[in-house]
Structure 1
Amino acid sequence: MTINVRIDGDSADDELRSLHQWLLREPVIYQDMDLKLVSKQPEQGQMGAALDLITLTVTSTLQLPSVIDAINGWRRTRRRETQITVERGDVKVTITGADPEAVIKALSLAEKDE
């Protein structure tokens, strides 16, 4: 199952890099999941590609709590609240002050819809 993680805002590239580095330091993430930074195609006149998202490939919904816990751990280190969108198939959940259990439940339901 693939989970996409997006961050919106002016400093989205830096924030995605920071979150990616954070997740790489989480043993449950780097040992059991495939983690990639994905760039979007550069627009006309741009020198390079901007980062678009982080892709996590997990084998089971049982890993979702670990993913959400790691993301929330990173969010707690930020000076300002960072809005993160976690996507699984057609389901998109925005994490702001959201209950981690609600995010896990929504992403778990997405797997049942496939």
Structure 2
Amino acid sequence: MRIDVRVGAEADELRSLHQWLGADREIRRSSSLTLQEQPPEPGHMGGLLDVIQLVTDNGWSAASFAMALAAWKRTRPQDPRIEIRRGDTVIVLTQGSDAEIERVIRALETSTEDEAPGT
């Protein structure tokens, strides 16, 4: 399963979340994390960091992922907006409340259950 995560407009926040998720043993054990860049704009040397991409295996836990996002969010002084995309499903965390975390878990578990084998 592939999940894309975007954080506000700041590349530093995206890097911070990438490091946070990479330090989480449960997430590291059951997924691979990469930072993806947008192609560079004409006249610029490099691309802009755009998204964290998670590719998960069968042992992946939506609950562990959602809790890690919420824990990271609580450490941020500016309370950044986090967008999680799984196929056509998009979930936005604005506060990291219990209700939002539950919504993330439900949405990701539902899209996992609905997924055809081998995708």
TM-score > 0.5, shorter chain as reference: yes
Residues 25-54 of structure 1, C-alpha deviations (whole Å, 9 max, x = no match): 111111221111111101111221101100
Deviation at 1:61, TM superposition (A): 8.0
Relative to structure 1, the CA distance from residue 38 to residue 62 in structure 2 (aligned partners, 3 Å threshold; closer, same or farther) is closer
**64, 81, 101: which is aligned to 1:83?**
81
Give the 3-state SS of the residue equivalent to 2:90 in structure 1.
strand
**41, 49, 66: which is aligned to 1:43?**
41
Question: May I ask how many residue pairs the two structures share in their alignment?
Answer: 112
Provide structure 1 residue ranges, at least 5 long, that are not aligned to the other structure. Answer: none
Q: Which residue of 1 aligns with 2:101?
A: 100
Answer yes or no: is the 8 Å Cα contact 2:31–2:60 preserved in 1.
no
Answer yes or no: is the 8 Å Cα contact 2:30–2:59 preserved in 1.
no
Q: Kindly provide the amino acid, as one letter, of the partner of residue 18 in structure 2.
A: H
| TM-score (normalised: structure 2) | 0.86
| TM-score (normalised: structure 1) | 0.89
Relative to structure 1, the CA distance from residue 100 to residue 88 in structure 2 (aligned partners, 3 Å threshold; closer, same or farther) is same
Q: Kindly provide the amino acid, as one letter, of the partner of residue 66 in structure 1.
A: S
Q: Kindly provide the amino acid, as one letter, of the partner of residue 89 in structure 2.
A: V
Relative to structure 1, the CA distance from residue 113 to residue 57 in structure 2 (aligned partners, 3 Å threshold; closer, same or farther) is closer
Q: Kindly provide the amino acid, as one letter, of the partner of residue 50 in structure 1.
A: L
Relative to structure 1, the CA distance from residue 23 to residue 62 in structure 2 (aligned partners, 3 Å threshold; closer, same or farther) is closer
Answer yes or no: is the 8 Å Cα contact 1:61–1:108 preserved in 2.
no
Give the 3-state SS of the residue equivalent to 1:53 in structure 2.
strand
Deviation at 1:82, TM superposition (A): 0.4
Provide structure 2 residue ranges, at least 5 long, that are not aligned to the other structure. Answer: none
Identify the range of structure 1 (101-110 vs 46-55) with the bigger mean alpha-carbon deviation. Answer: 101-110
Q: Which residue of 1 aligns with 2:54?
A: 56
The Cα RMSD (Å) is 1.6
